[in-house]
Each structure stands twice: as structure tokens, then as C-alpha cells.
Amino acid sequence: MSKIYPDAAAALDGLLEDGLLIASGGFGLCGIPERLLDAIQDSGVTGLTFASNNAGIDNEGIGKLLRTKQVAKMISSYVGENKEFERQFLSGELQVEFCPQGTLAERMRAGGAGIPGFYTKTGVGTQVAEGKEVKAFKGRDDSPQDYILEEGIFADLAIVKAWKADETGNCIFRKTARNFNQPAATCGKVCVVEVEEIVAKGSLDPDSIHLPGVFVNRMIVGAPYDKKIEFLTTRERETA
């Protein structure tokens, strides 16, 4: 059965419902599954929880879904470039579970590996540790140190963006766009990938594959894309 679908709406058909936990790849506006996020917005589903490093910016990425009040909770590391994210959090309209970037990536990776939880030093003694189990282990200097228990993320749906994929779903992520896409893809019960180019089976170097096709259920070609700038800084042209 082909994994390739004609568009984002078709690829998400039968997968969307209110209250889903969705793992979404991307970092800022880099490597985000734009077409799939647009299709989720168009579907009208609500009460969603997104596990994602951040929510894009206002009206871009997950930021679009914040504007339409389709997101109930974010599991994220960073909110700094999204004013609507900040406003909804401070007003109590949006639940936010802050998670250090490395911990978030590992929670996704753990879910993809079937690991329900792990202990980490990151966040010990801070608000991140509130309500979590603390346990002492022998540290690097051979003395007992506190670690907190973090749970793996098992998402209902994973949506990611790849640079290139073959017909069986083996994916390559390009440079910075690799970010959270690989661990996010593995932790979903169903993984949908939007890709810039799909090539013939067997044409990709096996040693270059970042995400094996066994994790991928459905794919679309999302290109072409308009280059979006997250934070624009300019200066006046110097003259002689």
C-alpha cells in the first residue's frame, strides 16, 4: 500500500479528533510541517495538546492554531517569539508545561523507544521538578545526587517535515531542520511526514537516512515553500 497521499487533508483524513496529543517537529520556523498544521487548522478540531519546542510565531506554525483557540495545552521549551502564546499563558487561557529542550527531545525519543520514563539532573531544585519523583543516584564524582523522573511522550499523532524521502518513507532532514523532527516522528502512534521531494525506492544512501520508513505511515509533498523570516534585523547600507 502506498504511503503517499495527494495533500495534507487527505493524509490526515480519519486521524484527527478533539483532544489529541500531537508531537510536532520544528524549531521556530525551521523545519515545521506547515501544510499539515494548515490542514489541522482547517479541520476545526479543538482541545489539542502539542508537544513541540515552541509554537512558531504569531500566525505562523502552531501560532495559527493558538489564534483560532484550537490548542488547550503546550508542552514546550520556549515561548519568546510568540506574543499570542505569551498572552494566553499569562491570562490562564492556555496550559503550558515547560520542559527543558534536551529533556523534551529525550522524552520524545524515549516514547519512540518504548521507554515510559527516565531520570535526569536537569531541573532538579527548580519549578521543573515540582510534583515529580526525586531519586538519588551515584553521580559522576561518585557521590549521591538527586535526579527527577521525566515521562516519555507517547503521542496520538506525530507531524514532521523532511527534506527528502523515498517511496517507502525513509527520510532525510536537512541541516537545522533535523532539530526535533526525528524524535517527534518516532513517538507518535501514527506519523505523517510532509517532504520537499519524494524519490524512487533505493535511490537514497542508507547511511544518510535519519528516520527509517518503518516509523512513517503517510507522506505528502509540501513544496514549494515560501521562505519565512522569524526575526528580521536590518541596518542601513554603508556608503563611502
Q: What is the mean pLDDT of the chain?
A: 93
pTM above 0.95, yes or no: no
With a cut of 90, say whether residue 77 has pLDDT above it.
Answer: yes
- For residues 181 and 26, the answer to whether their CB atoms sit within 8 Å is yes
pLDDT at 1 over 90: no
Q: Which of 14-18, 129-133, 190-194, 228-232 has the lowest mean pLDDT?
A: 228-232
**Residue 55 contacts residue 26 (beta carbons within 8 Å):** no
Q: What is the pLDDT of residue 171?
A: 98
Reported as a pLDDT band with limits 50, 70 and 90, residue 211 is very high
Across the range 91-116, mean pLDDT stands at 96
**50 and 72 in contact (C-beta within 8 Å)?**
no
- Exposed / middle / buried, residue 204 (Cβ in 10 Å: 0-12, 13-18, 19+): middle
**Among residues 46, 2, 43, 52, which one has the least CA distance to residue 24?**
52
The torsion defined by the Cα of 153, 64, 230 and 159, in degrees rounded to 10, comes to: 40
For position 102, what pLDDT does the model report? 96
What pLDDT, on a 0 to 100 scale, did the predictor assign at position 240?
Answer: 63
Give the Cα separation of 26 and 31 in Å (integer): 4
Average pLDDT over residues 140-154: 93
pLDDT of residue 59: 83
Q: Check residue 4 and give its pLDDT.
A: 97
| CATH fold for the domain made of 8-116+153-221 | Glutaconate Coenzyme A-transferase (3.40.1080)
pLDDT in tens, 38-70: 999 999 999 999 999 999 888 889 999 999 999
Grid cell at residue 150:
521525566
pLDDT in tens, 150-207: 999 999 999 999 999 999 999 999 998 888 999 999 999 999 999 999 999 999 999 9
Domain ranges for the chain, please list them: 8-116+153-221, 117-151
